Amino acid sequence: MINRHLLPNEIDLLVDGDVGFGVAPLRAHVRQCPECQARVDEARVIVDALEELPHFAPSSVFAERVMQQVHVFEPWHVAARNSVRRLVPHSTPARIAAAVMGVAATTVLAVASLWIGMRLDMLTVFSGTAIQRGREIVASAIEGVVGAAFGPAALAVVRAMGAAGLLVATIILAVAATGAVIGVRRLATASSRRAGGQ
């Protein structure tokens, strides 16, 4: 038995039917105090009314809709990884095809660079020092590209052979590029057959 009126949280304990240590003195007080009894009864009526109300739940897409309008900070490396992931195809044949196309594109660029280099070589025979200087700058850049794409050994061979070397290298690369295109078409046909379930 306690000699004061109950606090709101103590009334909640009684309404909830709590049976913990310390509930007995609260009950004893309520039995002898009409005022607290009235408050407990009132709280019980409210709780019962709340229980009878329909229970609402948010829509299953609620969280998604909210998050669409929330700007989430994305670190640059995560954004970059996601961009790359979107660019990389999902199926293995498509991945191989993309890789082959990348190699083919690099090859075409390298051949174009070789051709430009050859043209610049011919040009300098008849030109002055200004173009000579420009040729040196461009040639060193092209050498960097060719060396990176084919390795220094290939670069040395092509240089040693001069125009004939460039011609042979171009033919080899053209054959390789044609093979790559045929391979890509085969892969595309195979994957479309598989997708069609035949």
Other residues' Cβ atoms within 10 Å of the Cβ of residue 108: 13
Q: Which of 13, 23, 33, 139 binds Zn ion (CB under 5 A)?
A: 33
Query: Please, what is the minimum distance in Å from the beta carbon of residue 3 to Zn ion?
Result: 9
Q: Which is nearer to Zn ion, 36 or 180 (CB)?
A: 36
**Gap between the Cα atoms of 71 and 69, Å rounded:** 6
Smaller CB separation from Zn ion, 33 or 103: 33
Q: How far apart are CA 88 and CA 72, in angstroms?
A: 24
Residue pointed to by tokens 């498509």: 94
31 lies in the binding site for Zn ion (CB under 5 A): no
- Taking the least distance from each CB to Zn ion, the nearer of 11 and 97 is 11
39 or 135: CB nearest Zn ion: 39
d(CA 108, CA 153): 19
120 binds Zn ion (CB under 5 A): no
**Smallest gap, in angstroms, from Cβ of residue 25 to Zn ion?**
12
Distances (CA, A) of 134 to 119, 141, 183: 13, 11, 40
Contact residues for Zn ion (CB under 5 A)? 5, 33, 35-36
